[in-house]
């Protein structure tokens, strides 16, 4: 006879059934405080029974707010966005008056707004014909998305000229300009709930569902992908995150590659009538893992930390924490550095700053610690302080390309073109050799190629100043 499920196991099963979020047994301790808190009034049994009723909608919204991981930022995975706005959307624009893009799991809105922003910058599609819809199960992130006001940290990958063009700076942060906001709408929607009219055939030309299915078990992902396949126009495109794959989950799509970007196209009977696919078909033997970053081998810096790094690289932050916590004491100071970077990625700047100062105090991983402190200062709006930290990072380790890159970017922003040119030239010449570890820790989600593009763009902008 199988033993009855514990309340925590039942809570985890309900969360998976309702929101799709899968928690391994080893992660249940993350759920425990939440279950204790939420069931304080009705008792655990009463609470679990309530969750299983149709009247529990408000409680499920609260749970979605508490349990979802909402990490995102503008221009994330830029090679995919480039393929979407420069190739995929223009390929449809002759056939249809309106182009419809869905961002499924859009979080606080940076992704759908990035599609609108980048599409306007490239100018290949009439903005009046492009509509972007963002959906998410978490109502709190949608409020933020509709407000469209962001911290410098969210804009960390947006070059200065684009910041100036598309955002208004205020005390609260950077607010997206009205005409760009008008192209994007948001809806609260759970990907697990089938709504036939929403997922009606031919509803979207492209769907971005990036860094979302990573939290779902395969059977949930399979259903969601089938629903998305149904909702795409014939030959429509689906973009997943770099650490997500459709292998074994659907054979309705072919995998394509264009530059550094991997994405999928719906296979359609009678495909001869369709425009040729955008991007090159990729055969299974060519695919080890659809990673957008440029060639570097997996970083292997210190014994016992590789798995933390792999989780970090794939943006699986929860897993990275769990693995980090399980490391033996002796894994310092690199373990401390990774801990600080995880705080940084979660937007906990005070903790990241504290950890950075401690690293400096013990005199270890000095360049990284300066860089980390630079990021914290930059996000708080102290560009001058950040710039001197980045400069210190580059001084301590003159081969640290990212230190030069950020120093140069901030120097240019401050109008100090001479310093910017020197730093950016250094960055561009060092980036091809930058250690994979540094790119993983401090590349802000960009691969080597993306960072190189950023550096070159910044340098070009400097050259245009006489």
| Residue 132: CB minimum distance to ligand SAM, A | 12
Q: Does 19 bind ligand SAM (CB under 6 A)?
A: yes
Find the angle CA(82)-CA(215)-CA(287) to the nearest 5 degrees: 50
Q: Does 211 bind ligand SAM (CB under 6 A)?
A: yes
Task: Please tell me the number of Cα atoms within 13 Å of 89 on its side-chain side.
Answer: 30
Q: Does 210 bind ligand SAM (CB under 6 A)?
A: yes
Interacting span for ligand SAM (CB under 6 A) from 151-159, 208-216, 397-405, 455-463: 208-216
Scanning 286-382, the segments in alpha helix (DSSP H) are 306-313, 317-325, 334-345, 349-361, 366-379
Own/partner pairs for 66-69, CB < 8 Å, 24+ apart?
A: 66/34, 67/15, 67/19, 67/21, 67/34, 68/19, 68/21, 68/136, 68/137, 68/138, 68/141, 68/215, 69/215, 69/317, 69/318
- Pair of tokens at residue 229: 């396949």
| Residues binding ligand SAM: number (CB under 6 A) | 23
Cα radius of gyration (the chain): 23
Tell me which residues in 116-155 interact with ligand SAM (CB under 6 A): 136-138, 141
Cβ proximity to ligand SAM, 192 vs 287, nearer residue = 192
Beta bridge partners of 186: 134
Unique residue bearing structure tokens 């916590």: 325
Cβ proximity to ligand SAM, 191 vs 394, nearer residue = 191
Q: Does 70 bind ligand SAM (CB under 6 A)?
A: yes
Q: How far apart are CA 121 and CA 248, in angstroms?
A: 37
Q: Does 243 bind ligand SAM (CB under 6 A)?
A: no
Q: What is the number of the residue whose Cβ is closest to ligand SAM? A: 105
With CB under 6 A as the contact rule, the residue among 8, 149, 192, 282 that binds ligand SAM is: 192
Q: CA–CA distance from 35 to each of 61, 281, 321 (Å)?
A: 15, 47, 21
- Pair of tokens at residue 390: 């980045």
Q: Does 68 bind ligand SAM (CB under 6 A)?
A: yes
| Residue 379: CB minimum distance to ligand SAM, A | 17
Q: Does 212 bind ligand SAM (CB under 6 A)?
A: yes
Q: Does 191 bind ligand SAM (CB under 6 A)?
A: yes
Cβ proximity to ligand SAM, 141 vs 426, nearer residue = 141
With CB under 6 A as the contact rule, the residue among 12, 39, 80, 107 that binds ligand SAM is: 107
The residue ranges that bind ligand SAM (CB under 6 A) are 19-20, 68-72, 76, 105-107, 111, 136-138, 141, 190-192, 210-212, 241
């Amino acid at each position: 006879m199988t033993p009855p499920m514990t309340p925590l196991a039942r809570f985890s099963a309900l969360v998976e059934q309702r929101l799709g979020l899968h928690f391994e047994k080893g992660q249940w301790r993350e759920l425990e405080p939440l279950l204790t808190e939420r069931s304080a009034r009705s008792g655990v049994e009463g609470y679990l029974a309530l969750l299983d009723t149709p009247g529990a909608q408000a409680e499920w919204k609260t749970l979605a707010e508490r349990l979802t991981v909402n990490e995102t930022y503008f221009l994330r995975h830029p090679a995919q966005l480039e393929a979407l706005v420069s190739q995929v959307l223009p390929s449809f624009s002759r056939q249809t008056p309106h182009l419809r893009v869905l961002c499924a799991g859009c979080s606080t809105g940076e992704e759908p707004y990035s599609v609108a922003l980048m599409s306007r910058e490239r100018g290949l599609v009439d903005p009046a014909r492009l509509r972007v819809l963002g959906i998410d199960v978490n109502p709190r992130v949608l409020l933020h998305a509709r407000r469209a006001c962001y911290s410098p940290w969210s804009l960390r990958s947006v070059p200065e000229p684009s910041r100036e063009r598309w955002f208004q700076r205020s005390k609260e942060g950077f607010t997206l300009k009205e005409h760009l906001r008008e192209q994007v709408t948001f809806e609260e929607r759970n990907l697990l709930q089938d709504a036939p009219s929403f997922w009606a055939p031919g509803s979207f030309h492209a769907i971005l569902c990036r860094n979302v299915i990573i939290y779902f078990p395969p059977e949930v992902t399979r259903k969601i992908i089938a629903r998305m396949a149904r909702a795409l126009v014939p030959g429509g495109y689906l973009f997943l995150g770099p650490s997500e794959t459709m292998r074994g989950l659907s054979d309705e799509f072919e995998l394509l590659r264009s530059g550094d970007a991997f994405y999928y196209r719906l296979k359609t009977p009678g495909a001869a009538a369709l425009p040729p696919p955008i991007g090159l078909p990729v055969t299974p033997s060519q695919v080890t893992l659809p990673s957008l970053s440029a060639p570097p081998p997996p970083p292997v810096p210190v014994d016992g930390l590789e798995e933390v790094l792999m989780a970090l690289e794939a943006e699986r932050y929860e897993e990275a924490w769990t693995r980090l916590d399980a490391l033996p004491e002796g894994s310092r100071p690199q373990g401390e550095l990774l801990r600080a970077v995880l705080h940084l990625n979660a937007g906990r700047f005070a903790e990241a700053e504290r950890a950075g100062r401690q690293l400096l105090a013990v005199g270890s991983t000095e360049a990284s610690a300066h860089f980390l402190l630079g990021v914290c200062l930059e996000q708080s709006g102290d560009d001058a302080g950040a710039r001197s930290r980045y400069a210190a990072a580059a001084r301590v380790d003159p081969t640290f390309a990212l230190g030069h890159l950020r120093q140069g970017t901030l120097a240019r922003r401050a109008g100090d073109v001479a310093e910017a040119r020197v730093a950016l030239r250094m960055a561009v010449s060092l980036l091809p050799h930058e250690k994979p570890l540094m790119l993983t820790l401090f590349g802000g989600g960009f691969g080597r190629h993306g960072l190189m593009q950023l550096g070159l763009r910044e340098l070009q902008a400097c050259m245009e100043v006489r």
